Each structure stands twice: as C-alpha cells, then as structure tokens.
C-alpha cells in the first residue's frame, strides 16, 4: 500500500464522525422458511412465508440493509473464498500487479493511492460472473457494437479460479431468492425480476483493507451507494462497514454475525420500485491493528436492460420518478471513471431522477 501523503487533507464530509452508533444492528432475517422444506414447508404454512416477505419489505423500506442467516450457502465455500483471498493479497506487490486492471482488462487487481486527491485505503480484485461478460463497446447511444470483459486469473493461488467460480454460483442463487422475496413484498410475482439477469453483468470484488496508521483522516471506502440491483456482502470477523440510518442520518457500525450475509438494496431496485425502496449510503472505516477482508457479490442485469420504474408500480398518483436509461451504457461509463480523470462528476443514478 502507498503511504499517506503528508499533505493529504481529508474533506470534512469524508472524515468518520465520532458519534457512530454501536449499540444497535441492522435487521436480521432468517431465510430457513424458503430453504428448510421439512420443517417450514411454505405450501403447508403460507403464513410463515408471508411473515418472511413482510420482514424483507420492512427492512428494504426502513433500512435499505439487512443481514440474512440460514441462507443455504455452504460455509466451506465461503471459507475457501476467504482463504484464497488472503493468500492472494499476502503476496508481494510485483506478483499482484501481474493481473492489474487497466482500460483493456477492466477486471483484476487494483491498489489505492492516498494523495491530495481523495482515494480509498484498500486493495481490490474484481471478477466477472459470466466469462466473458457482454457489454457495450462504447457509451455512444447509437453504437450497437458489443465488447467482452474477461477475468484475469492469478498464477497464485492456483486454486483461486475454481473456488471463486463455485462461490459465485452460490451468490447468484442466493441473490435471485432474495430478489424474488423483494418482488413479492412489492406486490409483484416472485419471478418479476428474473429475466433481467439472464445475461447478467454481475461480478465479485475481493476487498483487502490493511491496517492504517491514521484511520481518523482516511476511510477504507468513502461513502457511496451501490449502483446495481442487490449487493450480497461477506466479511471476516473484523468490523468496518457503516451504514447511514434513514431515520436520523447518523452512521451505524454494522456488527457482523458469524456466517451471515449483509444485503443492501441497490440503485436499480430503487428505480424499479419507483423509490418505494431506497439505496442507502454506506462506507468502511479502518483499523489500526487488524486487516479486514470483505467480498461482495454485485447483482447486475444484462447490458441491454432498459432501467425504469416498473409499469405495475406507477399510476397517476405515483408517476415515474426516473427517466429510462440503458444499463450497459451506464456501466461502461462508470468503469471509464476508474481509468480516466474526468472533468465532471462520474455518472450516477441520480442523473436520471425526474425533478
């Protein structure tokens, strides 16, 4: 990691607030009713399913974040993913840079630089779910050409490719189950969102946050909202994720539960629901002594998806709050911001808000 520039000044809105709440936690939801058919068969006991849907809807509406337990993801797959992630980040920098991402290979390794320009204190490694992933060749709305994103797999650890691929399948399955529950909570058929993800652009990121000597002036990851449909986050035992509470705007330090997943509503679900559910700001604080590893799965739709409020959820009293936009063009524009110094703010969902 690059040392902090002595001239670096963290903008006030990026500094962690001292009054972070630690006594609470985001909602915890047990998914066993849709997994354990022997004890909680939803066909025999629909009230159990209805209560699960109610809890999902309430968490999405009131918090935008929740944790899930009894989710069906094998603990062994998660442990292997965490193991190879730590092995990869534990290598010398010259080895990690062999799979460094760039304008051509947008998936791969990246290390942050904390300078006078705001940067995050972390290392990441990105992998696409579909290989190759089909995306637009440019942001030109008239350009119909399709390009391909491929993964860069490191030589070490050699088992990383197989372990990540297996883990990604579990993440996709869990994500779709949660999206089905979200659909029902909005009064829609459970499969309403499924077609959006047939040619998905989803990906996994491994985040490594090394110990930081100055956690009071820099963040592991600055405040932001996730642009996709849903994020499924796993992390080790070191806490660091903070979410902004909707009710009062304060920051809440999320307490990770063993083997649980942290779920957050993304911008796409906010648009599809026409603001019934809101994507919430979150950030990562650092530890002076311990490194932290997290590995989110970002559920993204096909590149040709036109994102707009669902017709079933709009009417004269609740008109659409967003203009339609092409997801693939949006994604390519966002990625371009990783490699170019833009003179304007990078594109985000708020640019399509109807005022």
Domain membership of residue 225 as a residue range: 12-352
Q: 5 in a domain, yes or no?
A: no
Quick: pLDDT tens for 52-105.
999 999 999 999 999 999 999 999 999 999 999 999 999 999 999 999 999 889
* Cα–Cα distances in angstroms (integers) from residue 238 to residues 20, 83, 210, 257, 285, in the given order: 16, 15, 11, 11, 11
Q: 172 in a domain, yes or no?
A: yes
Give the CATH number for residue 244.
2.60.120.330
CA of residue 234 relative to chain centroid, distance:
10
Model-level pTM?
0.90
Return d(Cα 154, Cα 187) in angstroms, integer: 45
Q: 150 in a domain, yes or no?
A: yes
Quick: pLDDT tens for 95-140.
999 999 998 899 999 998 654 444 689 999 999 999 999 999 999 9
Q: 85 in a domain, yes or no?
A: yes
Q: 177 in a domain, yes or no?
A: yes
Please count the structural domains in the chain: 1
Return d(Cα 271, Cα 265) in angstroms, integer: 11
Q: 7 in a domain, yes or no?
A: no
Q: 2 in a domain, yes or no?
A: no
Query: How confident is the model at residue 24, as a pLDDT?
Result: 58
**Backbone φ, ψ for residue 161 (5° rounding):** -60, -50
Quick: pLDDT tens for 264-317.
999 999 999 999 999 999 999 999 999 999 999 999 999 999 999 999 999 999
Q: 3 in a domain, yes or no?
A: no
> Nearest Cα to 6, choosing from 116, 118, 122, 117?
116
């Amino acid at each position: 990691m690059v040392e902090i520039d002595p001239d670096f000044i963290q903008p006030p809105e990026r500094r962690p607030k001292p009054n972070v709440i630690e006594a609470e936690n985001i909602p915890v939801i047990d998914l066993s009713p849709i997994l354990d058919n022997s004890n909680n068969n939803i066909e025999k006991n629909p009230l159990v399913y209805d209560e699960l849907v109610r809890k999902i809807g309430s968490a999405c509406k009131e918090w935008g974040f929740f944790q899930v337990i009894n989710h069906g993801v094998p603990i062994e797959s998660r442990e292997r993913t965490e193991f190879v992630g730590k092995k990869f980040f534990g290598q010398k920098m010259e080895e990690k840079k062999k799979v460094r991402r760039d304008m051509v290979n947008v998936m791969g390794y990246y290390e942050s630089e904390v300078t006078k320009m705001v940067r995050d204190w972390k290392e990441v490694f990105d992998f696409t779910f579909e290989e190759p992933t089909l995306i637009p060749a440019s942001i030109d709305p008239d350009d119909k050409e399709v390009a391909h994103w491929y993964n860069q797999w490191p030589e070490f650890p050699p088992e990383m490719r197989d372990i990540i691929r297996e883990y990604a399948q579990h993440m996709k399955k869990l994500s779709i189950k949660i999206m089905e529950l979200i659909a029902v909570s909005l009064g829609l058929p459970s499969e309403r969102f499924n077609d959006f993800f047939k040619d998905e652009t989803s990906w996994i990121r491994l985040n490594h946050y090394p110990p930081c000597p100055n956690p009071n002036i820099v963040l592991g990851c600055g405040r932001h909202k996730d642009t996709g449909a849903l994020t499924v986050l796993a992390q080790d035992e070191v806490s660091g994720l903070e979410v902004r509470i909707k009710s009062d705007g304060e920051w809440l330090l999320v307490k990770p539960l063993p083997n649980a997943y942290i779920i957050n509503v993304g911008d796409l679900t906010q648009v599809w629901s026409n603001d019934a559910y809101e994507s919430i700001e979150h950030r990562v604080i650092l530890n002076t002594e311990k490194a932290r590893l997290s590995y989110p799965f970002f559920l993204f739709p096909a590149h040709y998806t036109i994102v707009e409020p669902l017709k079933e959820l709009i009417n004269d009293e609740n008109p659409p709050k967003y203009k339609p936009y092409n997801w693939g063009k949006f994604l390519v524009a966002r990625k371009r911001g990783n490699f170019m110094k833009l003179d304007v703010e990078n594109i985000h969902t708020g640019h399509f808000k109807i005022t």
